[in-house]
Amino acid sequence: MNVTATAGAGEAREARMDFTGKTVLLTGGAGGLGIDTALGFAGAGAKVIVLDIRDDRGSDLLSRAAALGNGSVVYEHLDLSDQAELKRGLDRIVAEHGAVDILINNAAIYPAKPFEDFTLEEHRAVQAVNVDAHVQCAMSLLPGMRQRGWGRIINVASITFYGGWDKLFPYVSSKGALVGLTRAWAREFGQYGVTVNAVAPGAFPTDAEKIHPDPDGYTRFVLDHQALKRRGSPQDIASTMMFLASDHASFITGQTINVDGGWVMK
C-alpha cells in the first residue's frame, strides 16, 4: 500500500523549523507518538514516509495530513518483523523517492508478562522489530546520507532502560540496544556529516498504557514520579525530534535525551 496526502502549516508551524526539500522516513509512524511527529515534519515542509502495518491508522494519518497543506505524507504498509520484505521495501522507497535525509527509528512492540513466562522465540521477536529492523533501515539509508554529506538518525529509546521496569525484559533490553547503537553509529557516522541521537520518552498516554489495569492509578503513579505535574503529549516528542533533526542541533551527536517531565535525570 502506497498512499500520499498533502500536508502543511497547522500546529507544526509553531516549531518554526523549515524542512523543505528534506525526506524523512519514520517507522511506526501511524499511531502513538508517531502521528504528531509525522505531521510536525510535514507541516514544516518535509516529505514524510511512514512505515507501519496499521492501515486504519495510516488512513487517519493521511486524512489529517490532507487537511493541512505544505509538505506531504506517504504511507507504506511494511512489516518490520520480516527483514527481507523490509529491505525490498526500503530499496523501492529509495528508488521512488530518492535518498532519505532523516531516519527516525520509532517502531516497537512491547509484550508484557513475567520473565519466566517468555520464551526465547518471543524475546527474539521483540528484538527483530525493535532493533534488527532499525539496523536494516540504517544500512539501507546511510549510503544516501553519506553521498550527500548530511543526515540525521534518531532512535527512540525509553526511560525504562534506566529504571528497569518489571515484566518488560525484551522491550527494556531492546531499548538498551538502541542506546548502544546510537553511540556506536554517532562515532562512526560523524565523518560523513551524519548525527545520531536517541530520544527516551517517559510515560505518555498512548495505546502502550492499555497494558495497565488501573489507568487512573497509573496516571497518579506517573505524576508522583515526574518533576513536572502534567502528562506529556505526543507534541512534546515531535518538538524534540524536529530539534534534533534541524541545523540547530548540528553539533549534538551520540546523546540520549529524556523527554519524561523530569522522571529520570541522567
Helix 83-97 / helix 133-148 crossing angle, nearest 10 deg: 30
Cell 532512535 locates to 155
Question: Is 218 a residue of the active site?
Answer: no
Instruction: Say which residues have a Cβ less than 8 Å from residue 218's Cβ, sequence separation at least 6.
Output: 203, 209, 212
Count of all residues that appear for the chain in the document: 266
Q: Which of 110, 162, 171, 192 is catalytic?
A: 171
Q: Which three cell numbers mark 83? A: 527483514
Cβ 118 vs Cβ 41: under 8 Å: no
Residue type (1 letter), 260: D
Helix 169-189 / helix 120-127 crossing angle, nearest 10 deg: 40
CA torsion sign for 101, 129, 5, 98 is positive
φ, ψ for residue 106 (rounded to 5)? -115, -30
**Looking at residue 90, what DSSP letter applies?**
H
**Which residues does the annotation mark as catalytic?**
171
